[in-house]
Amino acid sequence: MARRSKLVSGLLISGALVLSTLGVGGIALSAGATEAPASQSSASTSSHQGHTMAMPASTRASADDPDGDGYIPANPPVTGVEPSTKEPPHAYFHEFQAHCSVTHTKPDDPIVYPGQPGKSHDHTFMGNTTTDANSTTASLDSGGTKCLAPGDKSGYWMPTMLNGDKPVLPVGDQTIYYKAGVTDYTSVRPFPKGLRFVVGSPMQTAEEFRNHPGFVEGWECGTSYFNVNFPTDCPTTQDTQVNIRFQAPSCWDGKYLDTPDHKSHMAYPVVKNGTNDNVCPADHPVALPMIEFKMAFPVNGDLSKLRLSSGPSYSWHYDFFNAWDDRTLKAMVDHCVVGGLQCDPRGYDQNHPEAGAVLDANYELP
């Protein structure tokens, strides 16, 4: 898919969701647990165009955040970077895919509720096999992975989808794109180890979900696209599934691996005045890969009982915690994103076989 040019507006968040305590196939959903409870007094707030968004602050000490203030400094920070306004030779694609499968479900969130097992709504975890409330950069780094590339030990998670009281878990490899979100794809650099952030919010309204800068085509099924609510026209045919694609911010402040609201250290690109070019804003000048979740849920037909553990369809959001092997990620970013290729999980572009692959048949650096 080609990168979209889109004028970015701020993320708007309001309201709160309350869930009942349910027993779902061994999955415990915490009563009233969301990732941003309205009653939490330690919320960090910021405003955009007169609207206010509140996210819970991480105020519990951990190995990554010893003082528990929610700020995890980058070591070393990236300084002296200006947002690139260059226009490199046109490349229709500048991306690679990570293929990762579901590992487990838990009512945990090591980004929003570090060290507090059971406090979150239920999440479906992909990639790293050890992700839980106590996960740190070091623990993920030493864990296993169900991504095709053994070098990708990152944690990826999202609210669990439920059909009535039955979990609907994606089957097999799910596609996570790593793309250039800026016009100057040659300026994109790898994620720093330990970077983490939340995309979207469980408290967003339907309108905020639809207008979110990460919104691509909403909930899809069959020929039904751009849905804020789960589609009602979802044919009961073999291989028909409910899908969603959602993009993450890709501009980093260069200072923090996380902040109390788990968002403000990241930003979406903005459109440069008078052009269709996407550039990073001045206060978030470092261009990183743009992650795009492309998830497929094996459910069709009557979707009237479909919901998320975080609430309605428009409470969709996801988390990313980077634990890639540094050398592997840099090789993939340099070859595929900076190189202007459309790569599979081995870093191979079938339209440019002369460029070769980054990884060997075992998805490892040779």
As a whole number, the mean pLDDT across the chain is 86
Distance CA 223, CA 157 (A): 27
Contact 177, 292 (CB under 8 A): yes
pLDDT tens for residues 183-228? 999 999 999 999 999 999 999 999 999 999 999 999 999 989 999 9
pTM of the model: 0.85
Tokens of 165: 């009281």
Residues in Cβ contact with 65 at an 8 Å cutoff, skipping those fewer than 6 apart: 58, 71, 72, 114, 258
Residue 36: which pLDDT band, with cuts at 50, 70 and 90? very low
Print burial letters for 235-274: b (CB count within 10 Å at least 16), e (below 16).
Answer: eeeeeebbbbbbbbbbbbbbbbbbbbbbbbbbbbbbeeee
Taking residue 223's Cβ as centre, other Cβ atoms within 10 Å add up to 9
Whether 58 has a pLDDT exceeding 90, the answer reads: no
Distance CA 310, CA 162 (A): 10
pLDDT tens for residues 235-270? 998 889 999 999 999 999 999 999 999 999 999 999
Question: 59 or 363, which is more confident?
Answer: 363
Residues in Cβ contact with 228 at an 8 Å cutoff, skipping those fewer than 6 apart: 206, 209, 210, 218, 219, 313, 314
Distance CA 364, CA 207 (A): 43
pLDDT at residue number 60: 86
pLDDT at residue number 302: 93
Residue 59: which pLDDT band, with cuts at 50, 70 and 90? low
pLDDT tens for residues 145-161? 999 999 999 999 999 99
Q: What percentage of residues in the chain have a pLDDT greater than 90?
A: 80
Residue 171: which pLDDT band, with cuts at 50, 70 and 90? very high
Least confident of 21-35, 190-204, 241-255, 305-319: 21-35
Instruction: State whether residue 311 is helix, strand or coil.
Output: strand
Q: Could you tell me whether strands 95-100 and 342-343 are parallel, antiparallel, or unpaired per DSSP bridges?
A: parallel
Whether 21 has a pLDDT exceeding 80, the answer reads: no
Least confident of 16-20, 95-99, 195-199: 16-20
Residue 269: HSE in the Cβ half-sphere, 13 Å Cα cutoff = 32
Contact 187, 200 (CB under 8 A): no
pLDDT at residue number 142: 98
pLDDT at residue number 29: 32
Residue 353: which pLDDT band, with cuts at 50, 70 and 90? very high
Whether 57 has a pLDDT exceeding 70, the answer reads: no
Instruction: Give the mean model confidence (pLDDT) for residues 166-186.
Output: 98
Whether 127 has a pLDDT exceeding 90, the answer reads: yes
Instruction: Give the mean model confidence (pLDDT) for residues 134-150.
Output: 98
Tokens of 265: 């250290």
Distance CA 182, CA 297 (A): 30
Whether 324 has a pLDDT exceeding 80, the answer reads: yes
Angle at CA 180, nearest 5°, toward 338 and 153? 85
pLDDT at residue number 56: 55
Question: 316 or 19, which is more confident?
Answer: 316
Distance CA 130, CA 224 (A): 36
pLDDT tens for residues 64-89? 999 999 999 999 999 999 999 999 99
pLDDT at residue number 357: 98
Question: 199 or 37, which is more confident?
Answer: 199
